Chain A
Amino acid sequence: MTDATVETGRFGPFGGRYVPETLIPALDELAAAYAEACGDPGFLAEVDALSGDYVGRPTPLYRARSFEAEAGVAPVYLKREDLNHTGAHKINNTLGQALLAKRMGKPRIIAETGAGQHGVATATACALFDMECVVYMGTEDVVRQSLNVYRMELLGAEVRPVDSGTRTLKDATNEALRDWVTNVADTHYIIGSVVGPHPFPLIVRDFQAVIGREARRQILEVEGRLPATVVACVGGGSNAMGMFHAFAADDEVALVGVEAAGEGLGSGRTSASLSEGRPGVLHGSLSYLLQDADGQVAPAHSVAAGLDYPGVGPEHSHFKDTGRARYVSVGDGAAEEAFRSLPGLEGIIPALETAHALAWVTEAGRRGEIQGPVAICLSGRGDKDAVHVAGLGAGS
């Protein structure tokens, strides 16, 4: 991160703070609290201690030899974020932000969720710190990720279904922002990805950057060299930015973000904002956005609820435009196939979101397009998706 980004919230032209005036003082307060916390050894030590004892970090970097044989590229390492407590990378961010909320004296937490992983991770942090927790979730996602709804409720969170718009992550985010505008005095909004108004993209990126820091150290230990290719799925882009950040200055490392092509690029049923969108303002920042000619946000689609979002984090937009990262896409079918194949190969059931990254490595490996070592962020476990994919596959 540059000092300028900390100050302005801009990644190149992207990012910023396009929000109703009501939220400006809360964002200023958050930025100040975060800057103060970053300079407080006690805060950093608390985050580290929780990362170890509670989350289970560092997560392993596992060499997936059977997957290598399938993909025709080697070596391939999986950064096992699925082994974090609650089953995904999301908890890296929620614990950090919940601690920030405590510092700011805000007892009530709200969050949006798509796949439910961020909701579960937020509910978990709130249970741990004894905070009130409300999670907004689109009604379509409530159905396709019902296991996570139950988990959130067990953890003491209130799940509020959102029935407006596309009934998915975008609309859950709108509703969370409306709650925040209304209850900003006592409420902190734990946003779940590297999106939203400044300073959220920065804060979430920093809390997730532990993924790449560990992975970089681990691969240097086993391989004695950096990976040639680092791959992660991109919806809002938090696991990807967390994975990429430590490698951003390593010019020889190719960074590849895999978006959800849904029913295929050009079908009008995708979530591939970076591949098919153009810059626009949604949820407080300027970034690539799926939209129509009039600037109305286009409905996104992906079989993976966590990628089903028409926007993307502003730093990814910057990486796209500067060429620092390359953004590709994989459709629903290929992702489902990867979801079904990894369990038999490696004994690991990946989240449908993660399956997009695996599918792309398989495709690109078979075409001989990428070189090893490859490091893939295995961002989450797929238990939550099993029932949904089983239902999709019933006819095939």
Chain B
Amino acid sequence: MTGRRAPGRIAARFARLAAGKRAGFVPYVTAGYPTLDHTRELVAGLAEVGADVIELGIPFSDPMADGPTIQRSSQGALDAGTTTGDVFDVLAGLRRHSDVPVVIFSYLNPVVSRGVGEFIREAVDAGADGVLPTDLPLGADPELESRLSESPLDLVRLIAPTTYPDRIREIARASQGFVYYIARTGVTGARSALRNELAREAGAVRAVSPCPVAVGFGVSTAGHARAVGAAADAAVVGSALVDRLDSGGVEGALSLARELRAALDEVRPDRVLHGMVGQPPSRSSSEGSGVTKRV
């Protein structure tokens, strides 16, 4: 408990974004879809075109929070034989030439199946900065949650449009690195339009959150990215990239990534300086840290 608090790569990246008044770009990739080689090429390319954090998804057989696109990519990755070890291997490969922050996105079972200690060890060894378990809501499993939040990995939490205000505050405080605001009730998937209330809701989350707020679910186009970039600290894009990967290969997905990055750079909102390096933690370490990470 006496270890020095140092910013992780994610906090450092958001601090840099905030200092430059830029909105972050957080692409999601299903590891192993359609093959591991595609994923290697894609994540390297995403780092190059200006991804601020990459969400690297471990494919799962039963992705209950995902819509048809990511169900398809997950199943495709598993059909191609992708294992959790392969996902870490892709990450270790990326680390040879890039220090882009990477969050491992996973359903809980691949984590608990490995044993949470072993999972953390392998993820850290591979160079992961955070973990985002989609089915581990705040308070669901305090022991497991503290093992993750006390590890060198940032435990990234999700807030939904249905989350009540007191709980929004609690989740934002417990989240590490950034907090993920789900743009709509429902599953992942590209959409033609974002909800009108989104900017107001994201603003309400930012108002109480000690850490940066990323918004995802349905963010598909440059226009969406601009809207999200104006209201939040970062935009998460998943299904639209997978769709583009299907239709245009890695180059197609990267060209969408460039468009999204450019769109986010058109936004110059007056943003609160979230994620400043060196900001003192406002709570005891047992509550987790929204901004910095004990290492």
Contact = CB atoms under 8 A, between A and B. Distances in A.
Given A18-B135, A178-B67, A25 B162 contact: yes
Contacts of B107: 281
A284 B182 CA distance: 19
A165 interface: yes
B98 interface: no
A238 interface: no
Interface residues of B, number: 43
A25 B163 contact: yes
Interface string A271-296: 00000000111111010010101111
Contact of A20 (B65, B67, B78): B65
A295 B67 CA distance: 21
Nearest to A27: B137
A283 B78 CA distance: 19
A20 B164 CA distance: 14
Interface string B161-180: 11110010001000000000
Interface residues of A, number: 37
Interface stretch (A35-43, A124-132, A181-189, A312-320): A181-189
A51 to B, nearest CB: 33
Contacts of B66: 178
Interface string A227-268: 000000000000000000000000000000000000000000
Contact of B140 (A16, A26, A182): A16
B160 A20 contact: yes
Nearest to B186: A182
B221 interface: no
Contacts of B65: 20, 22, 178, 181
B270 interface: no
What DSSP secondary structure best describes chain B's contact surface?
Answer: loop
Contact of A185 (B109, B134, B159, B185): B185
Contacts of B134: 20
Nearest to A19: B135
Interface in A153-205: 164-165, 170-171, 174, 177-178, 181-185
A178 B64 contact: yes
A87 to B, nearest CB: 30
A90 interface: no
B112 A280 contact: yes
Contacts of A171: 62
A295 B160 contact: no
A16 B141 contact: yes
A177 B171 CA distance: 23
Looking at B63, B83, B160, which has the most chain A CB atoms within 10 Å of its CB?
B160
A296 B140 contact: no
A296 B61 contact: yes
A178 B182 CA distance: 14
A18 B108 contact: yes
A54 B134 CA distance: 42
Interface string B132-164: 001111101100000000000000011111111
Interface string B8-49: 000000000000000000000000000000000000000000
A280 B116 CA distance: 12
B75 A20 contact: no
B121 interface: no
A18 B136 contact: yes
A24 B182 CA distance: 14
Given A16-B141, A165-B75, A291 B187 contact: no
B105 interface: no
A297 interface: yes
Nearest to A198: B140
A297 B61 contact: yes
Contact of B135 (A178, A281, A293): A281
A334 to B, nearest CB: 29
A282 B137 contact: no
Contact of B109 (A21, A178, A182, A280): A280
A21 B75 contact: no
A296 B112 CA distance: 11
B200 interface: no
Q: Which of B61, B83, B114 has the most CB of A within 10 A?
A: B61
Given A178-B67, A294-B83, A18 B187 contact: no
Given A181-B185, A280-B109, A24 B163 contact: yes
A177 B182 contact: no
Contacts of A183: 185
Contacts of A182: 185-187
B109 A282 contact: yes
Nearest to B135: A18
Given A281-B112, A294-B84, A170 B62 contact: yes
A295 B187 contact: no
Contacts of B67: 178
A294 B160 contact: no
Contacts of A294: 83-85, 110, 113-114
B161 A20 contact: no
Nearest to B167: A24
Given A17-B140, A164-B71, A295 B113 contact: yes
Given A280-B113, A281-B108, A281-B109, A21 B186 contact: no
Contacts of A284: 135
B206 to A, nearest CB: 17
A17 B185 contact: no
Contacts of A23: 162
A25 B63 CA distance: 21
Nearest to A170: B62
29 contacts: A17-B140, A18-B140, A20-B134, A20-B135, A20-B158, A21-B138, A21-B162, A21-B163, A22-B160, A22-B182, A22-B186, A24-B160, A24-B167, A25-B162, A174-B63, A174-B64, A178-B186, A181-B185, A181-B187, A183-B185, A185-B162, A280-B109, A281-B112, A281-B135, A289-B109, A294-B114, A296-B78, A297-B62, A297-B109
Given A20-B158, A24-B160, 7 more contacts: A20-B65, A22-B65, A185-B162, A280-B113, A281-B112, A293-B113, A294-B110
